[in-house]
Structure 1
Amino acid sequence: MKTLIVLLVTFVQMLSAFSQKTNIENVPYHHTRLPSNPVPEGVSSFYLVYDLSKVSPKYMQEDYELSLDKITINGLTRSENEGVKIMVFPDTLSVTHYANSSKYNDKMRYNQVVTVNRTLKYKLTMPDADEAFIEDIIDGHKYIKHGEWQTSQSSAESWYINNRSRLIQEYDPEIKTKNINALSARISNAIGHGRIKGSVPIGTIKKFKKYSYPELDRALTNAKGALALHAIEDEYMPIVIKDKLQESLLIWENMLLSKNLKEKNSKVNNEVAALLYQNLLIVYGLMDEYDKVDALYQEIESLISSYHPKSWESYLENWKNYVDYRRKRVLANQR
């Protein structure tokens, strides 16, 4: 999910950078996200095995156990020893520090920079398999810069010695929470069917010089109405919504027929054309119409080669990252 959020933020920033006349709306789009590593047919459960021997003191072991026992995966039920095996190994807590120095009023001053860290290893294994199909490490840490400057390096060191236990006691539970949340999110992203209350960026153009764009406003309104019909339980877009989106797609495609990438004062200039291509790629991507998506990629690449429109190469890279995020999941879930 984090990856998609980053892509979405990048996408909106990119769209907004076209010009002041661009108007981008984050249109609500609720759906069920497909897993990136779907489990085989017939597998409907998971169970956790964890080794907390490197976690101390004992109350932290109990905190980890309680938190791990609360992990849920949408689409799979929890069992005692059946289904996907998830092995979890929190590592020994480590604390690193160094003296930070600076000059102030011709005198040196010192404080301690401390990092409290506890990594968490995990493996996911399919039933009857010996090799893990996912194996990774979560690097949970807390960076602390002590705000009170000391007059010498030795006094800064003394501050660390005197406060080490307090820092561990204060921040280890926070790191545990971050680790478990990250673990839960990664597992859900890999094998779960996450319910997403999200949005997609779809744009229109404000009035520009002598040109107005009421047809783009109409296309946006129509797309919003269509996507509002998408239920959060739906993994794939129903036909009725695809049919309703055709009106918006037709408007964007027809406007591109009059594009003029060489003339910046034309109605469908470089920036307007880029916005239209983005709308088309987003919507065709949501519809899983990847033949259309690939045809648009080729068309855009041809325009880049012929006209060298400003910034389109970087736009195309971002468009592909955004649209293909779902495509990879769709392909992975084809049985």
Structure 2
Amino acid sequence: MNTKVGFKSGFIALVGRPNVGKSTLMNRMVGRKLAIMSDKPQTTRNKITAILTTDEAQLVFIDTPGIHKPKHKLGEYMVKVARNALKEVDVILFLIEASEKEIGPGDLYIKDVLGQTKTPVILVINKTDLVKRDDLFPLIDKYRSIMEFREVVPVSALEGDNVDTLIKLVSGLLPEGPMYYPDGMVTDQPEQAIIREIIREKVLHLTREEIPHSVAVEIEEIVPRDNDLIYVRAVIFTEKESQKGIVVGKNGTMLKKVGGMAREDIENLLGSKVYLDLWVKVKKDWRNKDSILRNLGYEFKDR
């Protein structure tokens, strides 16, 4: 535990509509890729914890699934995770996109959720690299008219613009406290969970619009072998045979691409050569079956 006088520590939730860049921002702040990034909505399914330790503070970021009105049991789980995260934090970062012209129903829904907490909320306007600075002022006025924010901070998570300013602001809002995690630790997620998300990210990236969010990944085995090689066997689940065919590709070409891209990220994570053994199986309607969701790591727990 850190006993330095004036040292601050606390927990920060990133919330916002799906696909506003929460994972990209969290990865940028901690300087490591820990959460899945995709241009498709609702890619974050579990609460991902990332840790940034400076000389003055330790910031523990919680990247929640996008808050949205759920359409299936998996969606209900994702929203429950996001809501529960708000109960355990010291600061909330509410992310919106700089290119917005009007406040949409999704953001109004989130505003109502945040209105039930007394936790300080910072409005983070992301993707400022896509707009002119003067275009931000009308958007800021519209959001300030519906909700009170501690601060409003425009950033570009992709380019890193103004992210350091956001980190300093968040640090100043945290209470004095201990160092919860060892210096240098960047996540409390087990390697298996991160590997699972890496593989799923590659599937989403390579299949583009052909595969909806009906893909899940289960890590069946991680075993060290000779010559510092690590064997990883994983199963990619789809809901339909037609989706399985797309993931596998003609003569297995798509699956080979997924494996090649995923293996590179997994080797960077583990610091070792990896043999990635990928399989594809069908689990019909898995997103609506509690038992399958639990087996795939989506635990329904009330806090």
TM-score, structure 1 normalization:
0.22
Of structures 1 and 2, the larger Rg is shown by: 1
Q: TM-score, normalised by structure 2?
A: 0.24
Higher relative CO (Cα under 8 Å, sequence separation at least 6) belongs to 1
Answer 1 or 2: which has greater helix percent.
1
